[in-house]
Amino acid sequence: MKLAALKTYKTWRDSRTYSCAPSVRRIGLTGVCALLLFSLFCDSSKGTKDLEKEQVYYLLMTNPASDTAACQAEETAAISCANSSGISTPLYVITLQSLYGVTVSAPQSVTEICAVLPSSNVFTNQSVGARVCIFQCSMDFWQRVKAANLCTSPASYTSLSTTLATRSDRPFANCLNTCLVQGTVFPGN
């Protein structure tokens, strides 16, 4: 009897197919959709290394530590144009204080201007790298207009300042776009 039962079992076991094709057919459209959704929301980055720490280090290394030199170069160029236009440095500083909402302490030189300018409301949410971009592009603008002899009167200086503030000067706007697109806007740096 045991032998007959064993033979029946082996015959039954051998007759079964272990193919998954019938199972897949039974899943149907709902199951296929569920598998598709599961694969879309599945964490595919499990096996990849998280590079966030390396990215932060890279940004810290490539982002300048200070914007002071760029600010001083830009303010020197702007004051030079203002002076050539007949605007005194004290009048320039008064205008700057009004525009940026800062107070520049005596002797109101480029050093004092750049000590307070980066902390103005205009630059509050910008990284050091973004401020460096803005200062460098502004410096290029002031040097270019001075070399073209456009700093000739208070009216011309006012017009140039408006052009700069509205970014209507194409080389200045292109400089900002190129510089800032390269990844220097990181608030909080």
Q: Where are the domains of the chain?
A: 65-181
Cα–Cα distance for residue pair 166/169, rounded to 1 Å: 8
pLDDT in tens, 82-126: 999 999 999 999 988 988 889 998 888 999 999 999 889 888 888
Which helix (H) or strand (E) segment holds residue 10: the answer is helix 2-15
Confidence (pTM)? 0.63
Mean pLDDT (the chain, rounded) = 77
Give the residue, 64 or 29, on which the prediction is more confident.
64
Measure the CA dihedral 69/125/170/177, to 10°. 90
pLDDT in tens, 3-58: 554 455 555 555 554 444 454 455 555 555 455 455 555 555 555 666 666 666 66
